[in-house]
Amino acid sequence: MDQKTHESVQLDPEATETATPITCARCGTAADGTPPTWTCSVENGSRRYFCDDCARANIRAIEGRLDSSWW
């Protein structure tokens, strides 16, 4: 069988950085860069980020895929 292999891709760090700082959609906490432990949710076509504390406090609603307006 002939299978195509995927080539490794080098990402440009400047292209992956966002121009606006990331803030928690619930409490407004600002983050430096993109925090790997924050939760990202797509609601009505837009991304919303939630800090560790807000995500922990609402984990059941997040896992139930409820919009943040319901928490």
What's the confidence (pLDDT) of residue 30?
A: 95
Averaged pLDDT, 40-69:
89
Whole-number percent of the chain with pLDDT over 90: 37
pTM of the entire structure? 0.65
Give the start-to-end residue ranges of the domains of the chain: 22-66
What's the confidence (pLDDT) of residue 2?
A: 61
Average pLDDT, the chain: 80
pLDDT bin (cut points 50, 70, 90) of residue 19 is low
Closest CA to 25 of 5, 2, 46, 6: 46
| d(C-alpha 7, C-alpha 25), whole Å | 37
